[in-house]
Amino acid sequence: MDKYPNINILLNLDSVFIPKAEFVLRTYCYILRLNPHFSYGSHFEGTHLYYGKVSRFTYPISIYHDPETAAFFESKELYPLDKVNFCKYKGEHIPFLFSQGGAIFSFSEDHCQIRKDIIASGFYFLTCWNEYLLTYHGLPKGRVDFKQSLQYRWSFTEIPVVDVYCQMLIYTMQLFTPEFIRDIGWGDGKYFALSLSHDIDYWNFWSNKAIRQVLLYNLRSFFVRPFNSVYKSIGHMLHKYLFYNNFRQLRNIARKESDMGVSSSWFLLSSAEFEDERQNYINDIVYREQIIDLLGEKEVGLHGSPNSAFNSAILKQELEKLRELGFDPIGFRTHYLNFDYQTSFTILEDAGIKYDSTLGYWENIGFRAGISFPFHPFNIKENRPFRILEIPLIIMDTTLHSKKAMNLSLISSERAIRRLIDLAAKYQSHLSILWHNNTFDPVDYPGWSSLYWRTIRYALKKNGLVCALSKIYNEWVNISY
């Protein structure tokens, strides 16, 4: 961070809350390309930003702090829903916690106060505090319950509230510390970033057994859904027996991305203990050769089995399977998005994983930790940031089209994706997209392949950096270390 301007931040807080406040402020500073220098106590000459107890001194920017905040986090409570304070900012209703009512800002001639606690609120979202409390009180491990989230209850899942808090800080800096305002930007002179990834749940989904089973299902359901039954039956017979080749499909995806000048991350399953034999492809000699041939020069991460995010021995076994193929996986995403923030990040950190991209909701696109930018998650037990980097998962194809999730049409899905790309361009932020390889199937998912390619073209047209997750990781560690 030495290449970025030094900003002097004074913290006047209970000692137990200082690491939490520093974590949030460092996250904001990484986004703003600033180098934070922290001081502690009631006064420090040369302070640019003050956060803490009511002070008789004035500084260019101060942020409101409720003295009871530290005790709240130590007592491990859920924030009361009736105390969530919403204010409209740039056309969006933004939630604030631990904050005063009324206006967001209070201005004087030479200084201002942000009257909402964007630090404690940011900590609540960045740590997925609601999830932490539910787990702490015995929620079984597995995929997080979206409907238990504050985002779902107050309908702001698709608003990156932490990004917006950061924008509020930018706004006050423009007025009172303009020397710290700079173009956020991304590598190669790009305005925002779009990361691409593919979870390979099946190297070859259409085994002969699967084709027969689907054909029988469509024949049996003819009287219930005659059009779909005929379409799928004919489509599968023609496409799967005459034209389909799983390796050719995967190679075409990789080749087209290369032709467009973009790259993606490929997450491979390496467990051989799935009930569905098609997912145990890591042990198939032919598939192993195809994997090495196709992905030898690509970025390959581990698509961990559901238990790998909870068991360090299983995680290490699965990592070793990929290393046997010659890969050196630095990234991780768990299958089914089974993940417990505190437990899983501890296991991943101990295993030497550099980045994770699991923090997203299965049921809805959006911002599970309230942020679009990469960030270092927070270890609540040890009161410090984890060394691993989280690159949030924001859009998943299954989430868009599944009847158990958003159940959107192609048109509605494209509209939702473009809205989030426009948001990323507006805030110079990041958006991640996961597209499974089987979603490129033209019979079962007609039009979804084209949507993926249109999304890439749209992002490139808006001057976005479209790349693999590993490039996002490399970009960010150059900022944050």
What pLDDT digit, counting tens, does each position of 444-471 carry? 899 999 999 999 999 999 999 999 999 9
Does an H or E element contain 193, and which? strand 192-200
- In the block, residue with structure tokens 């196709």: 294
Give residue-wise pLDDT tens across range 20-53: 999 999 999 999 999 999 999 999 999 999 999 9
User: For residues 188 and 56, which has the higher predicted lDDT (pLDDT)?
Assistant: 56
For residue 238, what pLDDT is reported? Answer: 65
Report, as an integer, the average pLDDT of 367-376: 97
The phi, psi pair for 213, rounded to 5°, reads -65, -45
- Taking residue 74's Cβ as centre, other Cβ atoms within 10 Å add up to 11
For residue 134, what pLDDT is reported? Answer: 84
Give residue-wise pLDDT tens across range 296-337: 999 999 999 999 999 999 999 999 999 999 999 999 999 999
For residue 137, what pLDDT is reported? Answer: 73
- In the block, residue with structure tokens 């001057």: 463
Choices 3.20.20.370, 1.20.1090.10, 3.30.465.10, 3.40.30.10: CATH for 187-206+244-480:
3.20.20.370
For residue 480, what pLDDT is reported? Answer: 64
Category of 238 on φ-ψ map: left (φ > 0), alpha (ψ -120 to 50) or beta: alpha
Give residue-wise pLDDT tens across range 174-221: 999 999 998 788 888 899 999 999 999 999 988 778 777 777 766 777
User: For residues 140 and 295, which has the higher predicted lDDT (pLDDT)?
Assistant: 295
Write the CA distances from 282 to 272, 287, 320, 352, 442, integer angstroms: 7, 7, 12, 22, 25
pTM beyond 0.85: yes
Nearest to 127 by CA among 415, 457, 371, 352: 371
In whole angstroms, give the CA distance from residue 105 to residue 111. Answer: 11
Average pLDDT, the chain: 92
3-state secondary structure of 245: coil
For residue 354, what pLDDT is reported? Answer: 98
**Whether residue 242 has pLDDT greater than 70:** no
Report, as an integer, the average pLDDT of 379-384: 96
For residue 241, what pLDDT is reported? Answer: 65
Give residue-wise pLDDT tens across range 158-170: 999 999 999 999 9
In whole angstroms, give the CA distance from residue 110 to residue 107. Answer: 8
The answer to whether the beta carbons of residues 221 and 458 sit under 8 Å apart is no
Give residue-wise pLDDT tens across range 330-356: 999 999 999 999 999 999 999 999 999
The answer to whether the beta carbons of residues 459 and 432 sit under 8 Å apart is no
The answer to whether the beta carbons of residues 4 and 30 sit under 8 Å apart is no
For residue 317, what pLDDT is reported? Answer: 97
Q: What is the pLDDT confidence band of residue 274, given thresholds at 50, 70 and 90?
A: very high
**Whether residue 139 has pLDDT greater than 70:** no
Query: Taking CA 341 as the corner, what is the angle to CA 11 and CA 370, rounded to the nearest 5 degrees?
Result: 60
Report, as an integer, the average pLDDT of 237-264: 88
Residue 82 tokens read as: 């009736």
Beta-carbon-side half-sphere exposure of residue 99 (alpha carbons within 13 Å): 27
For residue 263, what pLDDT is reported? Answer: 97
For residue 135, what pLDDT is reported? Answer: 81
The phi, psi pair for 408, rounded to 5°, reads -95, 150
In whole angstroms, give the CA distance from residue 193 to residue 195. Answer: 6
For residue 239, what pLDDT is reported? Answer: 67
For residue 46, what pLDDT is reported? Answer: 94
Nearest to 391 by CA among 377, 366, 374: 374
In whole angstroms, give the CA distance from residue 156 to residue 85. Answer: 13
**Between β-strands 192-200 and 112-114, what pairing exists: parallel, antiparallel or unpaired?**
unpaired
Q: What is the pLDDT confidence band of residue 140, given thresholds at 50, 70 and 90?
A: low
Give residue-wise pLDDT tens across range 397-435: 999 999 999 999 999 999 999 999 999 999 999 999 999
**Whether residue 228 has pLDDT greater than 80:** no
Write the CA distances from 86 to 41, 58, 89, 97, 168, integer angstroms: 31, 27, 9, 9, 14
User: For residues 175 and 226, which has the higher predicted lDDT (pLDDT)?
Assistant: 175
Nearest to 247 by CA among 289, 300, 277: 289
- Taking residue 314's Cβ as centre, other Cβ atoms within 10 Å add up to 18
**Ranges of each domain in the chain:** 6-180, 187-206+244-480
Q: What is the pLDDT confidence band of residue 481, given thresholds at 50, 70 and 90?
A: low
Report the sign of the C-alpha dihedral through residues 444, 450, 452, 453, in that order: positive
For residue 207, what pLDDT is reported? Answer: 78
3-state secondary structure of 449: helix
Radius of gyration of the chain (CA): 24
Report, as an integer, the average pLDDT of 95-111: 95
Nearest to 4 by CA among 191, 185, 163, 126: 185
In whole angstroms, give the CA distance from residue 291 to residue 275. Answer: 22
Report, as an integer, the average pLDDT of 352-376: 97
In whole angstroms, give the CA distance from residue 429 to residue 443. Answer: 35
**Between β-strands 92-96 and 85-89, what pairing exists: parallel, antiparallel or unpaired?**
antiparallel
Residue 398 tokens read as: 């299954």
